[in-house]
Structure 1
């Protein structure tokens, strides 16, 4: 095995070890030590297998490090987000790039499932990986239960 350079999300962190996931390939690497990483940290880094067994990895270079903040907002989706949802069927996802960087995802869900859907998004490891790919540092989840609308905003700051 050889070293790998990419974008990694920390999915598990303890004082003595950590687990990182490549956001492009979804490959998981267990680190033999934890160089101060916390869950939801994103690393632009190079990792390499540790000899002799090469079953654990080590971080050998970090180009950038940031943390993804997950926010369960008490705000409702914007009027624009509600308008996007109005053109969609239940179960549909509308995606739109934000001006600058980031994206907005708007989901149409049954009114009685909006809260559960918001919880699912906030707990889903893929939400953080998507934020890392989009170079976001904040993910804001807004909901309008009476309208069956859930918005997920991937924000640069």
Structure 2
């Protein structure tokens, strides 16, 4: 095997090892050592397999390291976000660019499942991977409930 350069999310960190997930391929790599990495760190890095078995990897170079903050906001989705899904079916996802940079994902969920849906988004490993791909450092989950359905807004925010 050869070196691999890409964007990785730390999905698990212990004193002596780290599990990285490549955000593009979803491949998982275990580092044989932990040099101060923590869960939810995002690395633009190069890794290489350790000989002779090549089952664990070594961190060769880190071009950039950032942390993704997950925020369970008490704010409601913006009026614009609510309007985007006003006529949408439950579960339909609408994505739109944020003013400036970043992205917002909005979808309708049954009113009784709004809290559970927000929790799921905040605990989902893919939320961090998506933030890494979008170069976001903050993910903010907002929610609102109207007469029948709820609206969930996931905001991927840059620096």
Output the TM-score relative to the length of structure 2. 0.96
Cα pair 1:101 1:134 within 8 Å, conserved: no
Alpha-carbon distance in structure 2 between the residues aligned to 1:95 and 1:87: 15
Corresponding residue SS for 2:85? helix
User: For residue 143 of structure 1, what is the aligned residue in structure 2?
Assistant: 143
What is the aligned partner in structure 1 of residue 112 from structure 2? 112
Q: Within 5 Å, which residues of 2 pair with 1:1-157?
A: 1-146=1-146, 147-157=149-159
2: CA distance between counterparts of 1:135 and 1:90? 28
- The runs of at least 4 consecutive aligned structure 1 residues that moved more than 4 Å come to none
Structure 1: unaligned runs, 5 residues or longer:
none
In structure 2, C-alpha distance between the alignment counterparts of 1:87 and 1:133, rounded to whole Å: 29
Q: Structure 2 stretches of 5 or more lacking a match?
A: none
Q: Report the 3-state secondary structure (helix = DSSP H, G, I; strand = E; otherwise coil) of the residue aligned with 2:2.
A: coil
1:69-114 deviation per Cα after TM superposition (whole angstroms, max 9, x unaligned): 0000011111111111203111110100112221000011111111
Once the two structures are superposed, residues 24-72 of structure 1 have per-residue CA deviations (whole angstroms, 9 ceiling, x without a partner) of 0000000000111000000000000011111000110000000000000
Does the aligned pair in 2 maintain the 1:101–1:135 contact within 8 Å? no
How many angstroms does 1:117 deviate by? 0.4
Task: Name the Cα RMSD after superposition.
Answer: 0.8
